[in-house]
């Protein structure tokens, strides 16, 4: 097993007195795709948001690519967090800009001056890197097309290319296929698996479809009431475990 690019221990989070995460521990290694499963409200998305810095945990330790985040601030914290890129359910792209411009945005943390303000000033080097990222997700031929004209699956692949342009070691995908048709969902999940296995990324994906996890993920982490109830290779998922994770009785408030 390769080194853990994402390591989380004793993670805890509450909202308005309600416990959302309770003593969560896990690792995601380079070269693997880990699917996070569980019913609505089980803590899947909150876990990824805490890692990405979109939610502040109440307690716990988070390491990204070997660097502990606690105690960091300002530029140091921003640099450490840049080793993780987030892909969302709602695809956050600029519809009126081209696919290439949107992917270039992933590299803006590495540039300064006018190049960080307007696509007009993106460097040749950045555009070439963005084109390579678009080629990696199979969209080099759509580089100059406005994102708003692309299909949902194509837009999600542009978002993944943008994450690649960020040069992140960890790719966090929060329900990346829930708004896509079944065919597009299969393609996006297959792409995420390829990036883990061929580009040596650590990929953590929140999914609502256990069957997609079984077909594409290496390992599954199941959450129940904010705690980890399952953490094993997807081959060990069975109907009994899925019933535990998703049954209305067990997930009732």
Residues 132-191 pLDDT 10s: 999 999 999 999 999 999 999 999 999 999 999 999 999 999 999 988 899 999 999 999
User: For the chain, how many structural domains are there in total?
Assistant: 2
Q: Give the pLDDT of residue 163.
A: 93
Q: Give the pLDDT of residue 179.
A: 82
Q: For residue 110, give Cα distances in angstroms to 6, 66, 100, 102, 165.
A: 22, 21, 17, 15, 10
**What range does the domain containing 41 cover?**
1-83+169-253
Confidence of residue 119 (pLDDT cuts 50, 70, 90): low
- Write out the H or E segment, with its range, that includes residue 163: helix 152-165
Inform me whether the pLDDT recorded for 17 exceeds 90.
no
Q: Give the pLDDT of residue 239.
A: 94
Does residue 198 share a domain with residue 73? yes
Confidence of residue 66 (pLDDT cuts 50, 70, 90): confident
Examine the fold and report which residue of 135, 167, 199 is the final residue of a domain before the chain moves on: 167
For residues 109 and 34, the model is more confident at 34
Does residue 99 share a domain with residue 147? yes
Mean pLDDT of the chain: 89
Does residue 77 share a domain with residue 99? no
Whole-angstrom distance, CA of residue 101 vs CA of residue 79: 22
Does residue 150 share a domain with residue 174? no
Classify the phi-psi angles of 80: left when phi > 0, otherwise alpha if psi is within -120 to 50, otherwise beta.
alpha
Does residue 234 share a domain with residue 197? yes
Q: Give the pLDDT of residue 253.
A: 44
Confidence of residue 118 (pLDDT cuts 50, 70, 90): low
| Mean pLDDT to the nearest integer, 216-230 | 96
At 121 the three-state DSSP class reads helix
What does 229-249 look like in DSSP terms, one character per residue?
EEEEEGGG--HHHHHHHH-HH
- pTM for this model (two decimals): 0.90
Percent with pLDDT over 70 in the chain: 92
Does residue 11 share a domain with residue 71? yes
Does residue 110 share a domain with residue 66? no
Examine the fold and report which residue of 167, 182, 208 is the final residue of a domain before the chain moves on: 167
For residues 143 and 3, the model is more confident at 143
């Amino acid at each position: 097993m390769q080194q853990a690019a994402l390591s989380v221990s004793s993670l805890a989070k509450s909202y308005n007195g309600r416990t959302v995460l309770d003593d969560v521990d896990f690792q995601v290694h380079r070269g693997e795709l880990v699917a996070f499963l569980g019913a609505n409200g089980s803590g899947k998305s909150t876990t990824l948001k805490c890692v990405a810095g979109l939610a502040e945990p109440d307690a716990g330790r988070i390491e990204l690519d070997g660097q502990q985040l606690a105690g960091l601030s300002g530029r140091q914290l921003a640099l450490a967090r840049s080793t993780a890129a987030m892909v969302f359910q709602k695809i956050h792209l600029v519809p009126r800009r081209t696919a290439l411009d949107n992917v270039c945005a992933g590299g803006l943390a590495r540039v300064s001056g006018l190049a960080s303000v307007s696509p007009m000033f993106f460097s040749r080097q950045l555009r070439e890197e963005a084109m390579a990222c678009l080629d990696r997700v199979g969209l080099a031929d759509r580089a100059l097309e406005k994102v708003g004209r692309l299909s949902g699956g194509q837009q999600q692949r542009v978002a993944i290319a943008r994450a690649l342009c960020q040069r992140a070691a960890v790719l966090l995908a929060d329900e990346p296929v829930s708004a896509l048709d079944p065919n597009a969902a299969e393609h996006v999940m297959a792409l995420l698996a390829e990036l883990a296995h061929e580009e040596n990324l650590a990929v953590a994906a929140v999914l609502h479809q256990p069957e997609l996890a079984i077909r594409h993920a290496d390992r599954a982490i199941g959450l129940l009431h904010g705690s980890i109830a399952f953490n094993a290779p997807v081959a060990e998922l069975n109907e009994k475990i899925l019933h535990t994770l998703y049954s209305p009785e067990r997930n009732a408030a």
